[in-house]
Amino acid sequence: MPRARKRTLPRPASAAPPPAPVPEPPRPVGVVDMGASSLRLVVAEFPSAGNRPTTLEEASRAVLLGKDTFTSGRIGAATMESALKALEGFRRIMDGYGVVRYRAVATSALREAANRDNFLDRVRLRTGMEVEIIDGAEENRLTYMAVREALRGHEAMASGSALLVEVGGGSADISFLRDGQPVFSGTYALGSIRLRQSLASWHGSHEQRMRLLRRQVQNVVDDIRREMPLREARQVIALGGDVRFVAARLLGAPPGRTSVAELPRDQFLAFCESILPEDVEQLGEHFHLALTEAETLTPALLALRELLNETPAERLIIPDASLRLGLLLDLAGTEEGPGFEEFGCQVRASAEALGEKYRYDAAHGRHVAHLATRLFDELRPEHGLASRDRLLLEVAALLHDVGIFIDLRGHHKHSQYILSGSQIFGLSRDDMAVISNVARYHRRALPARSHPFYVSLEREMRLVVDKTAAILRAANALDADHLQKVKDFKLVREPEAWALQVEAAGDLTMERLAFAARTDLFAEVFGRRLIFREAPAAP
């Protein structure tokens, strides 16, 4: 009996194809900024990839965390309770929007509080929110991200040099930009609440208080001048609520989301001079400001005025940018994508500027960095480190010889000292601790428990130091003559050892000897001897 054929009924001509799946609407995200004078929340969404976030709701509460910290070193019970109530309200707002991704950060007021851990534990128990205490380097990075977005296409970010300044309640975050790239950055004790609290016990006249305040500001600016080429800054980009208030007062409107306020230098300086005779109560009455706003106005503007006077800039550029915008943009990025590549470029530019300050051998540093990252990539299956660790190795390789600025003898130890106390844009204190230790071990002794800088690191950080220092020692040996003779190499895995098959031009005697002496840490860390082998000459 023949097998029946399966028949398919034809689709009616009028039948429509199945509907395409409807994309899910973007999920809102939230950021919380716990500053020295207030707590702020922004709930936003990203309509499409690459676009600026759309704000759905903003909230702020005046909580003077900094007044407690900068006076007694601790967050008081009443202030703590006010902060917890504000954060509970922020949590309800985020829950109302269905926020599942958020980032909550705290800056200098909590960074310096002796009881910060107890406070953050209470935040977690009361609100379920995990708060991250970020350092000055992270503040600078996030602020720069916000400014770059707000000033996209603006001449201040296109060419020349610019000074980026945000005077907050606890500190001032300052970056020096060259052609839009940050090359110097730092966090300084110029916060408006910090400055105000430092004179809290002064009982002299208002005029004397202002003289003392200005002297304090000038002392810090003197330190900044030694670290940054302020005289080269043709533009000054200013952030913060106090300078936004001045822009709104003098120009009629604050900077908007699609515009940038530009305040002439002379007009700003004249306004600063006009408010100096007024105390906090008079400022509040004159400008209809809350007491918390009036308290920060004069110190913040004095700090900005002194910095502006160090530059030839003819105006203040005031964009609609803040740490919160930077946090939102950071939430939209990924560590491994184009954003991380751009971040790496910014870190390298800042690291090279630091090297120039200590008159480093740039050609040697760049070549060793190239060889070290090449070897890092060849060894990915063996070390299991991340892209950020690769960047830290690159910076350590670039700057491993800066200690020669102090003395050639023992310069590896001088390099550690210099780097441990330096700031590189976007890199945290933990990052710099790793970098300084890796640079210290580029020659001579291996990492040891008797070395205090090394043993003070957490276990995971010590492992990163061990692996990357082993790679740096080998890469540095390949340029022992500082003549960049090694052009490339290939890692050949053999049963008894691994061979680095080197392509080079010129006599490699120094490189061969140095390689034999400096691959001891490599054998200890990776369990394989690494041998030097010249590639056969091309026929």
Mean predicted confidence (pLDDT) in 91-105: 96
CA pair distance 534, 36, nearest whole angstrom: 60
Type and span of the H or E element at 429: helix 429-440
Asked which of 15-29, 224-238, 384-398, 400-414 is least confident by mean pLDDT, the reply is 15-29
SS (H, E, C) 331-396: HHCCCCCHHHHHHHHHHHHHHHHHHHHCCCCHHHHHHHHHHHHHHHHHCHHHHCCCHHHHHHHHHH
Asked whether residue 101 carries a pLDDT value surpassing 80, the answer given is yes
pLDDT digits (tens, 9 = 90+) for 428-482: 999 999 999 999 999 999 999 999 999 999 999 999 999 999 999 999 999 999 9
Distance CA 431, CA 390 (A): 12
DSSP characters over 110-142? HHT-TTHHHHHHHHHHHH---EEE--HHHHHHH
Domains of the chain: 29-134 (3.30.420.40), 137-329 (3.30.420.150), 338-481 (1.10.3210.10)
pLDDT at 16 over 60: no
pLDDT value for 203: 82
Dist. CA 186–CA 225, nearest whole Å:
12
Per mean pLDDT, which range of 14-23, 99-108, 493-502 is the poorest? 14-23
pLDDT of residue 232 exceeding 80:
yes
Give the other-Cβ count within 10 Å of 383's Cβ. Answer: 19
What pLDDT does 256 receive? 62
Give me the pLDDT at residue 3, please: 43
The string of pLDDT tens digits covering residues 371-408 is 999 999 999 999 999 999 999 999 999 999 999 999 99
Place of tokens 């603006």: 154
* Number of residues that make up the chain: 539
Question: Mean pLDDT across the chain, nearest whole number?
Answer: 91
Query: Hey, how many other C-beta atoms are within 10 angstroms of the C-beta on 228?
Result: 22
Q: Which residues pair with 318 in a beta bridge?
A: 261
Choice among 202-211, 221-230, 357-366 with the minimum mean pLDDT: 202-211
Predicted model pTM: 0.86
* pLDDT for 436: 98
Q: Annotate 269-282 with DSSP letters as a single string.
A: HHHHHHHTT--HHH
CA distances from 433 to 352, 402, 437 (A): 18, 15, 6
> Residue 144: pLDDT above 50?
yes
Each residue of 353-376: b (16+ CB within 10 Å) or e? bbbeebebeeebbbbbbbbbbbbb
Residue 335 has pLDDT above 90, yes or no: no
φ and ψ of 355, to 5 deg: -60, -40
- pLDDT, tens digit, for every residue of 40-85? 999 999 876 556 789 999 999 999 999 999 999 999 999 999 999 9
pLDDT in tens, 233-264: 999 999 999 999 999 999 986 666 557 999 99
